[in-house]
Homo-oligomer: A and B are copies of this chain.
Amino acid sequence: MSIWLEDSGSKPSRSRRSEQPSGLDRERITDATVKLLDAEGLAKFSMRRLASELGVTAMSVYWYVATKDDLLELALDRVFGEPRLPATDATEEGDAPDWREQLRELAAEYRALIVRHPWTSTLTGNFLNVGPNSLLFSHAVQKVIAGTGLSLPRQRGAIASVFQFVYGYSTIEGHFVQRCAEAGMTQDEYFREAMSAFRAPPELADTFQHTEEMMSAIEGGESVEQMRDLDFQAALDLQIAGIEALVAQEAKQAGR
Spell out A's residues near B (CB within 8 Å): 1-2, 4-7, 121-122, 124-126, 128, 130, 132, 135-136, 138-139, 142-143, 146, 151-158, 160-161, 163-169, 171-172, 175, 183, 193-194, 197-199, 201, 204, 207, 210-211, 213-214, 217-218, 230-235, 237-246, 249
Contact = CB atoms under 8 A, between A and B. Distances in A.
Given A1-B194, A139-B211, A152-B218, 8 more contacts: A128-B194, A136-B204, A139-B204, A152-B217, A154-B234, A155-B214, A157-B238, A240-B242
A239 B1 contact: no
Contact of A171 (B125, B193, B243): B125
A114 B126 CA distance: 14
A233 to B, nearest CB: 8
A217 B125 contact: no
Contacts of A243: 238, 242
Contacts of A122: 122, 125
| SS of A interface (majority) | helix
A145 B123 CA distance: 31
Contacts of A143: 210
7 contacts: A154-B238, A157-B238, A160-B169, A167-B168, A168-B171, A238-B246, A245-B245
A229 B238 CA distance: 22
Nearest to A237: B157
A126 to B, nearest CB: 6
A57 to B, nearest CB: 25
Contacts of A139: 204, 207, 210-211
Nearest to A199: B6
